[in-house]
Amino acid sequence: MKEKRRWESRIRQLGGADYSKMNSKALEAEGLHLPGSEDYYYYGAAKDLPQVRELFDRDKPSAPVKNYVEMAKKVGYEYFNNKISNSLRKEEEDLEAKLRKEAIEAYNLESQDPQNSTKRMKTGENEEDEKIIKAGLDCDEDEFENIHTNNVMSISTQSLMETKITADDIKKLIIKKKKEALIRKYASEALEEDPNEKNLNIIE
């Protein structure tokens, strides 16, 4: 097209007709514009050449698709319309550190003196333990395991977050209390059957 325009300009300079106004739009409509080039068109049989046809049939590169992790990296408080100031962030960090320190101190104090009442013992965990133990008296091992699985998180979710107590420790404690409750149950039944027998050989 550049070469064509040069010839049209030269013809006008020599006093000829202005072909740029006559057939420019018609020629551009017949030609195929090569994507990525400014004024490069193919006309006639040139459009059907193998290498030229491949240029036009080539698919455009698709935009890279971002996964959820990559998009979440750029998401901040502004995305949720919640602008947080530096002072508020500092207060949250200080409060989190304070609560963590109190939880550790309470756990250490309880570990040294089990009879001492701490915050963790006031959250109703003892009542939940008794409910599970009571339910375990009337079920077999498989059923008790299901009860433990369904309730162990509700018993000690808060304590697990604040202290270093593991789920195994809680399970051992519940099993121990269950054994003690079973021993007391069967011991009382034996006393009712033979009130005169005072010494019972109970193997734990």
- Looking at per-residue pLDDT, the higher value among 133 and 166 belongs to 166
CA-based torsion, 115, 121, 125, 130: positive or negative: positive
pLDDT for 179: 83
Q: In the structure, what pLDDT confidence band is assigned to residue 171 with cuts at 50, 70 and 90?
A: confident
Instruction: Pick the closest to residue 120 from 87, 63, 164 (CA basis).
Output: 164
The alpha-helical segments, DSSP class H, found in 78-140 are 86-112, 125-136
Phi, psi of 49 (to 5 degrees): -65, 145
What mean pLDDT is predicted for residues 125-151? 52
Give residue 118's pLDDT.
46
What pTM was estimated for this model as a whole? Answer: 0.21
AA identity, residue 163:
T
In percent, how much of the chain has pLDDT > 90?
1
Helical segments of 37-85, H only = 50-57, 68-73
Q: Which residues contact 30 (CB under 8 A, 6 or more apart)?
A: 43
Q: Check pLDDT > 80 for residue 8.
A: yes
**CA distance to 133, 137, 165, 199, per residue, from 173 (Å):** 11, 15, 11, 27
Q: How confident is the model at residue 200 (pLDDT cuts 50, 70, 90)?
A: very low
Please, which pLDDT band fits residue 203 given cuts at 50, 70 and 90? very low
pLDDT tens for 52-109 read: 777 766 666 677 787 878 887 777 666 666 555 667 778 888 888 899 889 888 888 8
Can you give the residue ranges of every domain in the chain? 2-57, 86-122, 124-204
Between CA 176 and CA 85 the distance in angstroms is 50
